[in-house]
Structure 1
Amino acid sequence: MTAPTTPLLVVDDLRTVFHTARGAVRAVDGVSFTVARGETLGLVGESGSGKSVLGRTVMGLIATGATTTVTGSVLLDGQDVHGLSRGRRRRLWGPEVAMVFQDPMTSLNPVKRVGTHLTETLRRHLDCSRAEARDRAVDLLRQVGIPEPARRLRQYPHELSGGMRQRVVIAIALACDPRLLIADEPTTALDVTVQQQILDLLGSLVEERSMAMVLVSHDLGAVAGRTDRVQVMYAGRTVESGRTRDVFAAPRHPYTEALLASIPQLDAPPHTVLRAIEGTPPDMARPPAGCRFAPRCAVRHDDCAGAMPALVPLSMPLSVGSPAASYDREVACHHPTTSAAFAAPGGPDGR
């Protein structure tokens, strides 16, 4: 991770609404954030919180029309992504911004060889010959840790393991040296040891290439120690954001506290009952009035069901590590907590 500089990506009041027979589903409901050059931002939250839709909307992959509405702005290095024609937007995919999709089992075309997936991307965007594209494809597979890369080019996706397929997907995303990488649940359905390898690989590649990255995950352990900042989403909205170390050391939103408290602890006694968040995420076609987390919140007040809390800057002293330090945080809660009891496994930075 590198120190953030000027913003490469600016997302402002982004909203993605799906118009269904049951009503309007506000999958992304007024989300704003920035990502600086060389910075890694973590987007976390339960399944159904809107993280993947947000990533696809930022990429410009959500088709708008009678059934879908997208509003707000997405600026990539000052260029309005959604204001571009589809042809110009396609030219951004690869050289400027790329995405690692959630499921490596379905991200690759089963009737195309691995080499075809890579070389067609390279030839389209970099205008190189077949031989040059093949040489670069071999080098890309080698960079992502695939053994015998020349032989793998001739194989089909079904001949590779899930971890190998995910490495191929990462190689495709990095083929044209994008400045921004969006990794959407890059370790879904992978073994725990393979998950660690993939996350470490992404971190090292981002560092080597000085890329910015948005790491989307429901796993807080995946973003701890691997991101500069974290943004916690619930029911399509941001409920808390701040520096990763600070958020993990002293969460201010009850939902963030509950997520951290549900992480299994290695030092817990045998047969310890895992903590869980009661209830289920809201029906986004009919979300509750007021705070959307209120029906599941253990510390809710009467006014929580009245008005939707705004995401506002909040400052508090940091009692973990340096007692004299202070930091800024954005929290959407009528009654933000002050407890620093929920620390990430292994310490404030998750290590």
Structure 2
Amino acid sequence: MSANNVSEKAPILVAEDLRTVFHTPRGDVRAVDGVSLTLRPGETLGLVGESGSGKSVLGRTLMGLISNDSRTTISGKVTLAGNDVHAMKRAARRKLWGTEVAMVFQDPMTSLNPVKRVGTHLTEALRYHLKCSRKEATDRAVELLKQVGIPEPARRMTQYPHEMSGGMRQRVVIAMALACDPRLLIADEPTTALDVTVQKQILDLLGSLTAERDMATILVSHDLGAIAGRTDRVQVMYAGRTVEQGLTREVFDSARHPYTDALLASIPQIENAPHTILRAIDGSPPDMARPPAGCRFAPRCKFADATCTSQLPQLEKVAGSEGRAVACYHPLQISGTHRMEVS
């Protein structure tokens, strides 16, 4: 789908200044700290960053899976299909799960109940949300398994999760997420622990289903290779904040934030000679219970100065670029030589 066609559609998801704070004995952990995003039907957004950057917590907060209580404070606004998610009671919010928004979780082995058959996993949601009869739900479940590329779907319905390979289990989780035709799909590290050939199959499957169903999709990953060529826009997160965002092609071709640039530089290149030493990002992510006063990437950034270490940079638009923004006092001006090809 062209960018123009997507931009003409009303957003399915709008998040404004979203914050998720966990209250711990060591202090408040700002897992998501002022993140905003907009997503339209037929569009795929890539959320990237190191482990611990807040990607998964953001996905769960968008769905309303994390609630305000004595241990957690959530602020900001999430509008999903016209509903203010965090203003809804949990019972009402539950009706959105599956029908309006669904999530593919990281590890299918822990996402699936080991004592329930695959068919039970699929038919439960269909009977609850769509009020299907047992036969209708079974027929629909078999068709879903067929759609996600599982051979002998009728036989697989009677199997338990441990009887299937990792790739097959991941396809079952995707089928569960798509069972009630959600308008938004959040895929949280959908290729974790899978070999590269199965990873490609799963990512190709998600891409084709997004196009066929005109869904909005959020693809969460720390693997920039999985994001390249499979998303329309990308949002780079570091320590709970968005540090750069824009069209995937533009961001991968000319990163403006030093962190994005460092992520791209750390990716092995096929043209490199054998035994080439891989580049790494110096230092470690910050302790989120005691984050730095200024830019959270400053302790690891070679461009950091006194301003960076004392003042937190805000996300600002990049002139002459649609939707491009960067949170940095010293944005990069030139492209490096390590860029990935985005088809």
Give the Cα separation in 2 of the matches to 1:73 and 1:23. 24
SS of equivalent to 2:65: coil
1:292 partnered with 2:296:
yes
> Given that residues 81 and 100 in structure 2 are in contact (C-alpha distance below 8 angstroms), is that contact kept between their aligned partners in structure 1?
no
TM-score (norm 2): 0.97
- Within 5 A, what are the aligned runs for 1:175-324? 175-315=179-319
Query: What SS does structure 1 have at the residue aligned with 2:235?
Result: strand
Question: What letter is aligned with 2:201?
Answer: Q
Q: Name structure 1 gaps, 5 residues minimum.
A: 317-325
Offset of 1:270 from its aligned partner?
1.0
Choose from 133, 136, 142 the match for 1:138. Answer: 142
| Aligned twin of 1:53 | 57
Contact 1:257 1:342 in 2 (8 A): no
Distance 2:51 2:37 in 1: 20
Q: Which residue of 2 aligns with 1:95?
A: 99
The alpha carbon displacement at 1:63 in A equals 2.8
Residue 336 of structure 2: which of 315, 338, 341 is its match?
Answer: 341
Does the 8 A contact of 2:245 with 2:323 survive in 1?
no
Q: Distance in 2 between matches of 1:169 and 1:111?
A: 15
Q: List 4+ stretches of structure 1 deviating above 3 A.
A: none
Unpaired runs of at least 5, structure 2: none
Q: In structure 2, how many angstroms separate the alpha carbons of the residues matched to 1:274 and 1:72?
A: 40
**What residue identity is the alignment partner of 1:90?**
R
Secondary structure of the equivalent of 1:315? coil
SS at match of 2:139: helix
**Counterpart residue number, 1:77:** 81
Q: Which residue of 1 aligns with 2:325?
A: 330
In 2, Cα distance between equivalents of 1:100 and 1:203: 14
Separation in 2, partners of 1:50, 1:267:
32
The secondary structure found in structure 1 opposite 2:123 is helix
Out of 109-118 and 63-72, give the one that drifted further: 63-72
* Counterpart position of 1:122: 126
Separation in structure 2 between the aligned mates of residue 195 and residue 149 of structure 1, nearest angstrom: 21
Secondary structure at the aligned position of 1:82 is classed as helix
User: For 2:86, what is the secondary structure of its paired residue?
Assistant: coil
- Cα shift at 1:38: 1.2
**2 CA distance for matches of 1:75 and 1:328?**
20
For residue 16 of structure 2, give the secondary structure of its aligned residue in structure 1: strand
Q: Kindly tell me: are residues 182 and 130 of structure 1, through their superposed partners in 2, closer, same or farther at Cα, counting changes over 3 Å?
A: same
Offset, 1:8:
1.1
Please state how far the C-alpha of 1:247 moved relative to its aligned partner.
0.3
Instruction: Please report how far the alpha carbon of residue 254 of structure 1 lies from its aligned counterpart in structure 2 after TM superposition.
Output: 0.2
Query: In the aligned structure 2, how far is the partner of 1:152 from the partner of 1:35?
Result: 35
Q: What is the aligned counterpart of 1:18 among 4, 15, 22?
A: 22
Structure 2 counterpart SS, 1:178: coil
Q: Which residue of 2 aligns with 1:320?
A: none
Query: What CA deviation, in whole Å up to 9, does each residue of 1:118-164 have, x standing for no partner?
Result: 00110111111111110000000000000000000000000011100
Q: What residue identity is the alignment partner of 2:34? A: G
